[in-house]
Chains A and B, each alone.
Chain A
């Protein structure tokens, strides 16, 4: 009876006969819930940590990818410009070659004329000797 009267007043006794405000059953459940919550929190924070490191990793990879991409674009452009540069160089070399060719032609003509002259001179000398 006394228990009932106390229960009405909101007071209970547990197994160890300690006075409680909550019903022992509920109190036990509450304790269980609290423990479970703690466990849950731990798990969540662990998960967050894992996710965080994952995100970092991904970020790193993204950066790397971006870098590589730029590199690729750069080298592709460079490649394009190299062909252009080569073309320009080729053009320059061609111009120089034409110049040399013209020079060669001049020297060839000069050589030809000198050879002809030499021939004429030797002819003359021979004739001169024969006449004597």
Chain B
């Protein structure tokens, strides 16, 4: 990835340029010490003078009013911006250049001004060290903080409820509620000149006179420190999508990845870059130069890879596709600028500023094309048959034929801050993490766009950071992997049948997580280890098997805080913190096993395991067979991994005559007692259901069932008595006391009755011969 820089031969400003801002992705406004406001049209590459400012106005910073959702087809962009000046005032200026308001704000110069993300508040900071909050119309709301030294730069937090500002070498985060305690730390060895805070990835960025830039998380923990540059860092700026940031210094313009490492460096003859601004589609930057130039840079050569295809956005309107296996190259030309591109699941989706193109990897010549409602797509997520587009206002799901399927919504949805971690798509489900309450995950049926199940979102115990849906299998078995604030990994059911949702904690300290694209394997990076769950579903079958079906490897070569890039087939790509990509692979057998099992070829699966002779594979098969209620296969697999007790249990189940009872016992085997009871009651095996509850010491439920179905009350009472006798205790349960009144319990009689029941069961029309091995 690099910049394509364009710079006019002669500077259009006669003095230094101090600030720039984008109105639309094709138009920039700049201002400088020559008191001019210049409007730059990037389509015609011309600059025209918008207005001459009064002589006493020396601009220091500008910020455009945020573009809010709800614009029409051709959203005109923002209409007003704030310009602060050295005479202590800030000006609200309309797009046409008319000064709408001039407000006396600070003693000494106003150094920085920022609108919050919803546009309700304006924050200013000045040479007098005061940070103030103003209303939309320029009325003073509150004074947030007073400092002894000038505050050079400010930024709003993602929810607009916190503010980041500089104070000398310090960085300070302060909530805007009055009396809230600020958190502050020493950020640099020199004066901090610029800060920025991205709402999408929630990371902070600071540039300083000590010639370094640093990336921080929102708790002030350092994520990245740059090497020392030749000159102080005069400007920093996050791209709106949070993937990249730009750094400006003397004759220096740098493009960096969000993790800090540098994609590209430009050395234009511009003097110091005092201000950098990204266009709303995150494809272009404009920077204010010390020698009167305004420099424009387009981010090109974004590179995507999928299996044997390599996709490079080689220019603003050109994409080069290369098939590395046969070196076939295709050049795709577009009418408009390419904003986003994504390739996965045999399809490439390209969003330009007006249209969306869908290519099949088999055919690069005839894409499906449809018009976009709004020009600025911020995110594309793909699944096997669908893809999801996010723009400023909504989330849309399309098929690869270009048909819109749905547009899920929930109250308080903010689409501008969605990213790959907080929204997930599979072929039947969409999961979106709520921003206002981060514990909440909204899940939608893909075909209708309506919330799943009873319409209530899933609420996790603590704040959720990342959500991932598995990609394969049927909709009923869809599972959601959740990484929460403590970096713990949970696996939960998406569709709930019956009473409670089963959520299982799989692991802790997860750095990065991904599902496989072909089979439901889950890969994670955790504390210098690579973990692959070959069959995460084992957690719902037999928890003992989780660790045995997990592949674990020390990965010292990945370095500190690596990120998973892709998990395609058996290939895992990992990006190290300094930007290099490492590839590693996992055994191919689990995915073959998955295929056999999905096709129902259990014999082949057993044969495969016998051939490979790996314990993890046998464990996978055991869990799969138990889940698929394949008793024979499960028996073989459990035998292979030396689980004698389970083998015996399965053998005993095999002897149960009726199919429902066997299923119930398998459910019980998987620890799902309520499911087991449900199966039994549905098959009207009342006696068995009662006995099940008796064996689980679920006395109340057993009695309830017996009373309800008017059968075997004495059996329950007898077992209860025996149980209490064993523990030498007295009956305290009122219901049992009530029912045992006047009932004579004769153990022999009960035994006989039980025998009779089992005999009756054996003689049921569906049942064949055989005796119960379980209940004796």
Contacts and interface: CB of A to CB of B under 8 A. Distances in A.
A109 B580 contact: yes
Contacts of B230: 91, 95
Interface in B223-254: 230, 251-252
Interface in A80-119: 88, 91-92, 95-96, 99, 102, 105-107, 109-110, 113-114, 117
Contact of A113 (B264, B579, B582): B582
Given A92-B251, A95-B230, A117 B262 contact: no
A120 B585 contact: yes
Given A117-B585, A120-B585, A121-B585, A96 B580 contact: no
Given A95-B267, A96-B265, A102-B262, A117 B583 contact: yes
Contacts of B581: 106, 110, 113
Contact of A106 (B571, B580, B585): B580
Given A95-B252, A106-B579, A117 B265 contact: no
B576 interface: yes
Given A92-B251, A92-B267, A96-B265, A117 B584 contact: yes
Contacts of A110: 580-583
Interface in B29-83: none
Contacts of B261: 102
B267 A105 contact: no
Interface residues on A, range: 10 to 19
A109 B252 contact: no
Contacts of B428: none
A110 B565 CA distance: 13
Nearest to A113: B582
Contacts of A107: 580
B578 interface: yes
Contacts of B579: 106
Nearest to B578: A106
Contacts of A114: 583
Interface string A53-65: 0000000000000
A114 B582 CA distance: 7
Contacts of A120: 585
Contacts, number: 43
Interface string B704-729: 00000000000000000000000000
A114 B580 CA distance: 12
Contact of A96 (B267, B578, B582, B588): B267
B265 A99 contact: yes
A96 B584 CA distance: 31
A99 B265 CA distance: 7
Interface in A10-28: none
A114 B583 CA distance: 6
Nearest to A121: B585
B568 to A, nearest CB: 13
Contacts of B582: 109-110, 113
Q: Is the interface of A mostly helix, strand, loop or mixed?
A: helix
A129 to B, nearest CB: 14
Q: Which of B230, B265, B588 has the most CB of A within 10 A?
A: B265
B447 to A, nearest CB: 39
A46 B252 CA distance: 71
Interface string B542-577: 000000000000000100000000000001000010
Nearest to A111: B580
Interface in A116-132: 117, 120-121, 124, 131
Interface in B360-418: none
A87 B576 CA distance: 34
Contacts of B585: 117, 120-121
A113 B558 CA distance: 11
Contacts of A88: 251
A106 B577 CA distance: 11
Most buried by A among B580, B584, B585, B611: B580
A45 B394 CA distance: 102
A113 to B, nearest CB: 4
Contacts of A91: 230
Nearest to A118: B583
Given A106-B578, A109-B576, A99 B584 contact: no
Nearest to B263: A103
A106 B263 CA distance: 11
A52 to B, nearest CB: 49
Contacts of B251: 88, 92
Nearest to B579: A106
Interface in B578-612: 578-585, 588, 611
A99 B262 contact: yes
A17 to B, nearest CB: 96
Nearest to B571: A117
B406 to A, nearest CB: 39
A50 B671 CA distance: 127
A99 B256 CA distance: 12
A99 B264 contact: yes
Contacts of B264: 99
Q: For A92, A96, A120, which residue has the most chain B Cβ atoms within 10 angstroms?
A: A92
Nearest to A88: B251
Nearest to A132: B611
Contacts of A92: 251, 267
A99 B226 CA distance: 12
A88 B250 CA distance: 11
B254 to A, nearest CB: 9
B565 to A, nearest CB: 11
Nearest to B585: A117
Nearest to B227: A98
Nearest to B570: A121
Contacts of A105: 580
Contacts of A102: 261-262, 578
A113 B584 contact: yes
A89 B282 CA distance: 31
A59 to B, nearest CB: 40
Contacts of A96: 265, 267
Contacts of A109: 576, 580, 582
A110 B580 CA distance: 6
B90 to A, nearest CB: 36
A124 B588 CA distance: 10
Interface in B330-363: none
Nearest to B582: A113
Contacts of B262: 99, 102
B425 to A, nearest CB: 29
Contacts of B265: 95-96, 99
A120 B261 CA distance: 30
Nearest to A89: B267
Nearest to A120: B585
A43 to B, nearest CB: 64
A87 to B, nearest CB: 11
A91 to B, nearest CB: 6
A113 B579 CA distance: 14
Interface in B127-182: none
A15 B579 CA distance: 127
A57 B169 CA distance: 67
B251 to A, nearest CB: 7
A118 B459 CA distance: 44
Nearest to A117: B583
Contact of B583 (A113, A124, A131): A113
Interface in B747-770: none
18 contacts: A92-B267, A95-B230, A95-B265, A96-B265, A99-B264, A102-B261, A102-B262, A107-B580, A109-B580, A109-B582, A110-B580, A110-B583, A113-B557, A113-B583, A117-B584, A117-B585, A120-B585, A124-B588
Interface of B: 230, 251-252, 261-262, 264-265, 267, 557, 571, 576, 578-585, 588, 611
> Which 6 residue pairs of A and B lie closest in terms of their CB atoms, listed nearest first?
A106-B580, A109-B580, A92-B267, A113-B582, A99-B265, A110-B581
Given A106-B581, A113-B584, 12 more contacts: A92-B267, A95-B230, A99-B265, A102-B262, A106-B578, A106-B580, A109-B582, A110-B580, A110-B582, A113-B582, A114-B583, A117-B585
